[in-house]
Each structure stands twice: as structure tokens, then as C-alpha cells.
Amino acid sequence: MKDLFIKAKNTLRDNRIFERFFIGATICCFITWLILLLKEGTTSEQFKVFFESTNDLFADMTNVVGWTSQRDVYNNAMYTPVGDKPYPALNYLIVYFFSRTIDMKPYLENEFFLNIYWNPRFMIIYLLFVIFTLVAFYQVVQQAKTGSGKVRAFMAMVVLFSSPMIYTVERGNFVLHSMICVFIFLLYYDSPDKWKRELALICLAIATALKVTPALLGILLLYDKKWKEVLHIIILMRVIKVGLG
């Protein structure tokens, strides 16, 4: 009995059992979701994994495309109140380039942007952007994960096919890009290589410029008393702010 207890204790200490459980559970959940989706068809409750069952597809992107096309987002009350446009400026700068790929005149006249994804030019460019983002996310998850190549690959894949990830892709939000930068920061901020530490600081600045909350990770630098790096981050943030006007 004692030997069995010791064996169970050692098994629980082995991180691989949790890895396998997480991978297996996620794969089973995804397959179950897919089977139910195919079985129930267009009326399936499984579509609720998406916001409003995809009736608001890519809205965090398409709405912002409409707002940025007029190049005055923070004073633009079209379609939604000014208070509903709280994204940091870097988000709007990136999305502005998407607004240049299509004729915005009919959308602005109707003050309705949700059907921008019907435009094939927009969709081709945006899908390429999404693919690039997912590949980058896959790579950083692999880098962050320890273990064999197969385990790292499986872990990255199950994260990509998890419900929060599918939901985020459907929204068209820039949170994934901020997460990629956060991963890179956590990987390299204490690296012995100077260029990796520099990359980490730049990524933290970009992550914060996309979504304000990553700024809290600066606590890691403060805890390690890396005052120069903290000052560096402040300067980088200032440069980004000035550059964005």
C-alpha cells in the first residue's frame, strides 16, 4: 500500500501527466464540439462558442476599419458613441491599412461596417494576416513550452484550437498580437543575450501599446531591480506615443 502511495505521489509530481491530461481533454472537447456542430446543423447551440453565434463576425476588426478610415477615431461619433472607441492608438494605426484596401464610401454612407468582411479583397488580406498571427502564436507557444518536440507541438496545437482562441479569432481582436509580444517578453527579459533582452523590452512596449494591461509585467523588472530596463521601457513607450501623435 505504501509503495502504491509513493508511486501515485511521484506520478502527480511528474508534469507530464498534467500535460497529457490537458492535451487529451482539449482534443476530446474539440472533437465533441465538432461532432455536435455537424450533427445539429445550422441550429446548433455549438455556434454559441462564437459571439452572438457569428452574427457579429470579425466586428472588432470591421468596426474599427470603418472608424479609422476617416482618420479621426477619438472624435468620431459615427455608428457608435466616442466612448465606445477606447482602443490604444497602435490598434487604429494597424487597422487603418486595412481600410485602404477597399472603397469605404458605401459603408460610410450607410454608417454600417459589419458586412465589410463580404468584400473579397479585405477578406484575402485579413485572412493572410490571421494566418501569419496564428503561425507566430504557435511558434512562441512552442518556444515557451518545455519538453520534447512532440509535446510542444501538441500543446501549441491544442491552445490554438481551444475555445478562447477560436472566440478571439472570430472577434478579430488584437489581443493575440499582444499575447505574442508578452510571450516573447517572458521568454527573453532575463536572457544572458543582450539582443534578446532588447527584443523583450520592445515586445513589452508593443504589447502595452496594443493592450494596456501588459504594463503590469513591468513589476518583474522592478522586482529584479532592473532600473535601466524600466527606464528603457518608459522611453520606448514615449517614442511610440509620440510616433502615433
What percent of the chain has pLDDT above 70?
88
Q: How far apart are CA 137 and CA 209, in angstroms?
A: 18
**Average pLDDT of the segment spanning 135-161:** 83
**Average pLDDT of the segment spanning 181-189:** 90
pLDDT at 26 over 70: yes
Average pLDDT, the chain: 81
8 A C-beta contact, residue 157 and residue 139:
no
Q: How far apart are CA 103 and CA 120, in angstroms?
A: 12
8 A C-beta contact, residue 113 and residue 66:
yes
What is the band of 178 on the pLDDT scale with cuts at 50, 70, 90? very high
Residues whose CB is less than 8 angstroms from the CB of residue 230 and which lie 6 or more positions away in sequence, other chains included: 218, 221, 222
Q: How far apart are CA 124 and CA 11, in angstroms?
A: 48
User: Identity (one letter) of the amino acid at 141?
Assistant: V
> If DSSP states are collapsed to H, E and C, what string results for 145-177?
CCCCHHHHHHHHHHHHCCHHHHHHHHHCCCHHH
pLDDT tens digit sequence for 193-232: 988 889 999 999 999 988 888 888 888 888 888 888 888 8
Q: Where are the domains of the chain?
A: 2-48, 49-173, 177-243
Residues whose CB is less than 8 angstroms from the CB of residue 227 and which lie 6 or more positions away in sequence, other chains included: none
Residues whose CB is less than 8 angstroms from the CB of residue 220 and which lie 6 or more positions away in sequence, other chains included: 189
Lowest mean pLDDT among 13-22, 25-34, 178-187: 13-22
pLDDT on residue 53:
67
pLDDT on residue 90:
85
**Average pLDDT of the segment spanning 133-153:** 84
Q: How far apart are CA 184 and CA 187, in angstroms?
A: 5
Q: How far apart are CA 62 and CA 98, in angstroms?
A: 9
pLDDT on residue 5:
43
pLDDT on residue 181:
93
pLDDT at 3 over 60: no
pLDDT on residue 241:
67
8 A C-beta contact, residue 169 and residue 162:
no
Question: In which residue are the cell numbers 468620431 written?
Answer: 76
pLDDT tens digit sequence for 68-110: 888 888 777 776 776 677 788 888 888 889 988 888 888 888 8
pLDDT on residue 50:
75
Q: How far apart are CA 1 and CA 42, in angstroms?
A: 54
